[in-house]
């Protein structure tokens, strides 16, 4: 009985990863997952910073637009946003699915990053702004050279955590193309008619990547705490 179970497990693993070099599908899918996540978080940081500054702006139209963007994106499902971007906005544009996916996730991530950045800016003591103005700096210069460097240091762990969350959310890209890690598992399923090993393999790979990033994040936070103590 045990031998039969062991043979079934080995056969499942062989068909999922070894046969026809299917491990390469998972490796390629993981590469796309990380590429999409990294691109999205970089663009999301840019969009989010601009949205945060817009929401803090004293110019009402800019503040209104930024607030609406954050409210709408945070209030609608990621999947719906991705489908709208791919099948409506970029329907007639010949772009690679990973580029469209990265743009979609960047727009989604930007709304959450905006609140992280806004919270980080508001956490800086107002005396810092007053000190900058007393040195003859303009509002923009004070924000750029005094407030933002401190803000980035404070929110860096939260931004790194956003990257981790984004890696898991990229599984939604399977709605437009099977190029990511979960897409590789779905391709294997279509050939083996077995859901267990492909999905279990994808889950383990996701977990391993997230675990490594979580450990690196913990080390980053510890180093930042030590720097604050000094």
Structural domains of the chain, ranges and CATH numbers in brackets: 23-229 (1.10.3720.10)
The model carries a pTM of 0.85
Q: Is residue 114 pLDDT above 90, yes or no?
A: yes
pLDDT (0 to 100) of residue 175: 78
pLDDT (0 to 100) of residue 61: 92
Min mean pLDDT across 95-99, 102-106, 201-205 is at 95-99
pLDDT (0 to 100) of residue 230: 53
Residue 202's CB is within 10 A of a number of other CB atoms, namely 24
User: Could you give the percent of the chain with pLDDT greater than 70?
Assistant: 95
Structure tokens at 14: 């062989």
Residue 36's CB is within 10 A of a number of other CB atoms, namely 27
Output 2 or 127, whichever has higher pLDDT.
127
pLDDT (0 to 100) of residue 75: 93
For the stretch 20-76, pLDDT in tens is 888 898 999 999 999 999 899 899 999 999 999 999 888 899 999 999 999 999 999
Q: Is residue 110 pLDDT above 90, yes or no?
A: yes
Contact (Cβ atoms closer than 8 angstroms) between residue 116 and residue 156: no
pLDDT (0 to 100) of residue 65: 94
User: For every residue of the chain, which 3-state class applies, written as one string?
Assistant: CHHHHHHHHHHHHHHHHHHHHCHHHHHHHHHHHHHHHHHHHHHHHHHHHHHHHHHHCCCHHHHHHHHHHHHHHHHCCHHHHHHHHHHHHCCCCCCCHHHHHHHHHHHHHHHHHHHHHHHHHHHCCHHHHHHHHHCCCCHHHHHHHHHHHHHHHHHHHHHHHHHHHHHHHHHHHHHCCCCCHHHHHHHHHHHHCCCHHHHHHHHHHHHHHHHHHHHHHHHHHHHHHHHHHC
Nearest to 123 by CA among 113, 112, 115, 131: 115
pLDDT (0 to 100) of residue 93: 83
Contact (Cβ atoms closer than 8 angstroms) between residue 81 and residue 88: no
For the stretch 40-56, pLDDT in tens is 989 999 999 999 999 98
Phi, psi of 93 (to 5 degrees): -110, 130
pLDDT (0 to 100) of residue 1: 56
User: Could you give the percent of the chain with pLDDT greater than 90?
Assistant: 31
Contact (Cβ atoms closer than 8 angstroms) between residue 20 and residue 89: no
Q: Highest mean pLDDT: which of 31-35, 134-138, 154-158, 190-194?
A: 31-35
Output 2 or 200, whichever has higher pLDDT.
200
Q: Highest mean pLDDT: which of 38-52, 83-97, 132-146?
A: 38-52
């Amino acid at each position: 009985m045990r031998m039969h179970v062991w043979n079934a497990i080995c056969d499942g693993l062989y068909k999922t990863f070894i046969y026809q070099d299917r491990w390469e599908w998972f490796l390629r899918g993981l590469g796309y997952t990380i590429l999409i996540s990294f691109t999205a978080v970089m663009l999301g940081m840019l969009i989010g910073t601009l949205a945060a500054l817009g929401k803090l702006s004293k110019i009402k139209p800019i503040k209104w637009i930024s607030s609406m963007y954050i409210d709408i994106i945070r209030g609608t499902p990621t999947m719906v946003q991705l489908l709208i971007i791919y099948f409506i906005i970029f329907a007639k544009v010949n772009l690679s699915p990973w580029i469209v996916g990265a743009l979609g996730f960047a727009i989604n991530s930007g709304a959450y990053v905006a609140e992280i950045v806004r919270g980080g800016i508001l956490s800086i003591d107002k005396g810092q702004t007053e000190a900058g103005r007393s040195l003859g700096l303009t509002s923009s210069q004070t924000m750029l050279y005094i407030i933002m460097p401190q803000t980035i240091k404070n929110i860096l762990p939260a931004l790194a955590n956003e990257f981790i969350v984004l890696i898991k959310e990229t599984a939604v890209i399977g709605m437009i193309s099977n190029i990511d890690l979960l897409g590789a598992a779905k391709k294997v399923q279509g050939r083996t008619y077995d859901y267990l090993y492909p999905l279990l393999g994808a889950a383990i790979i996701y977990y391993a990547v997230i675990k490594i990033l979580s450990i690196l994040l913990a080390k980053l936070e510890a180093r930042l705490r030590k720097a604050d103590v000094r």
